[in-house]
C-alpha cells in the first residue's frame, strides 16, 4: 500500500454559527490526484484553505506527511496553494515570480536560476523567464502559477478551482496539461472544483461534498457506476433516477404499478431507494424482450451527435429518461412509440 500523504481526522470548521465543514475525515495517498467535488458553498474551498493553513480548523486534526500541521503557519507547511485567480505578482516578471518561493528559502542564485529553467520546461514554457506577467495569456499565466507553486517542491499542491476563469477549449487543454505535469513531478495534488468533468478527467480519487460533509469518496469509475446517493448520481455524469420502494429484489415504483428487477441487494425491505441507470446502459428498440426490465416509451427529443445519438424519452409512469446510443446507421424519430429496457446488472441502488 502506498503511503498516506495527507490525513484529515474529524475536521470541523465553523464561521460564527455557520458550519462550513462538518466533521470530515479522509486521506490522500502519495502522488495521487485527489479532487474535492461539490456545488458552491459545500465547504470544499474551506477544506483546502485549512490544508494550506489559511484557516484554522475549529475541531479535528490535519496531518501532512507524518506531521500534525494543525498549529503550523502557512509559510512553514510542506504544501503550496495554487490560487483561484492565479495571483501572479504583477510587479515581477515570470522568473522572479517562480523564484520568489526559492528566494524565501535562501537558495543560492545559481540554483534558483537552474530550478526556474527546469520548472519552465516542466510546464512547457521554456524561455519565458523575462516575460512580464501582463504579457501572458490566460493559459500561460496558469502554467506559470503552477510552476511557482511547485518551485519549493511541496509534498502537496493544493489547487482551488484553477480552471474556472478559462474558456472551454483552454480548460480542456489545461486539464490534460495539469494531469501531465502532475505525473511528471509526482507531487500529490488536491484539487477543488465544482465541475464534475474536470474532476473525472484528472482525478485518481474524488470526494463528493455537500453542505460541509463528504457524501462519498471513491475512484472516478466507482463514483460513476455506484453513486451512494441520488445527489452523487446527479452530480457525476448523467443518471436516470427512478424512485421507489425496495422489496425482495425488486423496486416497486412510485408512479407506476410495476417494478424494476434489480436482483438481491443489501437494502432493507420497504426502504425508499433511487434506482440509478446510466443513459448508455439502456437499450432502445422495438424488440428487446430478452432484457430483465422492459418498459413502454415515447421518444420526445432526438439529438444526433455523430458517434452517439441522445434520446429523451417519456417512459410509462411519466418518467423522463435520457438514453445515449452508439450510432449504427439508424435513428428513431420523434414521437415513435417503442420499448426501452435494461438488465438487472445495469442498475445501481442509491439512497433516495
Partner 1 sequence: MSIFNKILKFIRKRERLSIGMQLSPAMFWIVFFLLIPLGILVIYSFWEMVGTRLIPVWDLRNYVDVFTRVGGMYIRLLVKSLAMSALVTVGSIALAYPVAYFVSLRIEKYKYTWLILLMGPYLVCWVILVFGWKMVIGYSGLLNYLAQLLGLISEPMSWMWNNWWAVVFILIMGWAPWLVLPMFVSLEKIDKSLLEAAADLGAKPMKRFLRITLPLSSPGLLVATFFVLIPTFGEFVTPALAGGSRGVMYGNAIDASFTSMMAWPFGSALSIFLMIISLIVATILIRIVGLEKLMESL
Query: Could you tell me which of 348, 345, 340, 306 has the C-alpha nearest to residue 323?
Result: 340
Contact call for residue 287 and partner 1 (CB under 8 A): no
Q: Select the span of 84-92, 162-170, 222-230, 319-327 touching partner 1 (CB under 8 A).
A: 84-92
Binding test (CB under 8 A) with partner 1, winner from 84, 140, 252, 310: 84
Binding test (CB under 8 A) with partner 1, winner from 148, 194, 228, 278: 148
Residue closer to partner 1 by CB (options 20, 147) is 147
Residue closer to partner 1 by CB (options 136, 313) is 136
Identify the three-state secondary structure at position 120. Answer: helix
Contact call for residue 152 and partner 1 (CB under 8 A): yes
Q: What would the grid cell of residue 245 be?
A: 420502494
Binding test (CB under 8 A) with partner 1, winner from 80, 188, 193, 259: 80
Binding test (CB under 8 A) with partner 1, winner from 87, 122, 170, 314: 87
Contact call for residue 115 and partner 1 (CB under 8 A): no
Shortest Cβ 106–partner 1 spacing (Å): 10
**Strand positions, DSSP E, the chain:** 4-15, 18-29, 33-37, 59-64, 67-68, 79-82, 156-160, 188-193, 205-210, 213-219, 240-247, 250-253, 259-261, 272-277, 283-285, 293-304, 308-315, 319-326, 337-342, 347-351
Angstrom CA distances, 31 to 69, 154, 186, 190, stand at 19, 11, 5, 10
Shortest Cβ 257–partner 1 spacing (Å): 58
Count of CA atoms in the C-beta half-sphere (13 A) of 61: 8
Alpha helices in 123-167 (DSSP H): 138-150
Contact call for residue 157 and partner 1 (CB under 8 A): no
Binding site for partner 1 (CB under 8 A): 52, 54, 74-76, 80-81, 83-85, 87, 89-91, 100-101, 104-105, 148-149, 151-152
Amino acid at each position: 500500500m502506498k503511503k498516506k500523504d495527507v490525513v484529515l481526522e474529524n475536521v470541523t470548521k465553523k464561521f460564527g454559527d455557520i458550519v462550513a465543514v462538518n466533521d470530515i475525515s479522509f486521506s490522500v495517498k502519495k502522488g495521487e490526484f485527489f479532487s474535492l467535488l461539490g456545488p458552491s458553498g459545500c465547504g470544499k474551498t474551506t477544506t483546502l484553505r485549512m490544508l494550506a493553513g489559511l484557516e484554522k480548523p475549529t475541531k479535528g486534526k490535519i496531518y501532512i506527511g507524518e506531521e500534525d500541521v494543525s498549529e503550523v503557519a502557512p509559510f512553514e507547511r510542506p504544501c503550496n496553494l495554487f490560487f483561484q485567480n492565479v495571483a501572479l505578482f504583477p510587479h515581477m516578471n515570470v522568473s522572479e515570480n517562480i523564484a520568489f518561493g526559492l528566494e524565501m528559502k535562501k537558495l543560492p542564485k545559481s540554483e534558483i536560476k537552474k530550478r526556474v529553467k527546469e520548472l519552465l520546461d516542466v510546464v512547457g514554457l521554456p524561455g519565458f523567464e523575462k516575460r512580464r506577467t501582463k504579457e501572458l495569456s490566460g493559459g500561460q499565466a496558469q502554467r506559470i502559477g503552477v510552476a511557482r507553486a511547485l518551485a519549493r517542491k511541496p509534498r502537496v499542491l493544493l489547487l482551488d478551482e484553477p480552471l474556472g476563469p478559462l474558456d472551454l477549449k483552454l480548460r480542456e487543454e489545461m486539464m490534460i496539461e495539469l494531469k501531465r505535469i502532475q505525473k511528471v513531478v509526482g507531487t500529490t495534488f488536491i484539487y477543488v472544483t465544482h465541475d464534475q468533468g474536470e474532476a473525472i478527467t484528472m482525478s485518481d480519487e474524488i470526494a463528493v461534498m455537500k453542505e460541509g460533509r463528504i457524501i462519498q469518496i471513491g475512484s472516478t469509475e466507482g463514483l460513476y457506476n455506484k453513486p451512494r446517493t441520488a445527489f452523487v448520481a446527479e452530480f457525476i455524469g448523467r443518471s436516470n433516477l427512478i424512485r421507489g420502494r425496495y422489496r425482495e429484489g425488486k423496486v416497486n415504483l412510485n408512479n407506476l404499478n410495476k417494478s424494476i428487477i434489480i436482483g438481491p441487494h443489501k437494502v432493507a425491505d420497504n426502504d425508499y431507494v433511487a434506482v440509478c441507470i446510466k443513459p448508455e446502459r439502456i437499450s432502445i428498440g422495438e424488440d428487446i424482450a430478452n432484457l430483465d426490465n422492459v418498459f413502454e416509451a415515447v421518444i420526445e427529443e432526438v439529438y444526433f451527435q455523430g458517434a452517439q445519438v441522445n434520446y429523451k424519452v417519456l417512459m410509462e409512469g411519466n418518467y423522463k429518461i435520457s438514453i445515449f446510443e452508439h450510432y449504427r446507421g439508424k435513428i428513431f424519430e420523434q414521437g415513435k412509440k417503442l420499448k426501452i429496457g435494461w438488465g438487472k446488472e445495469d442498475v445501481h441502488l442509491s439512497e433516495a
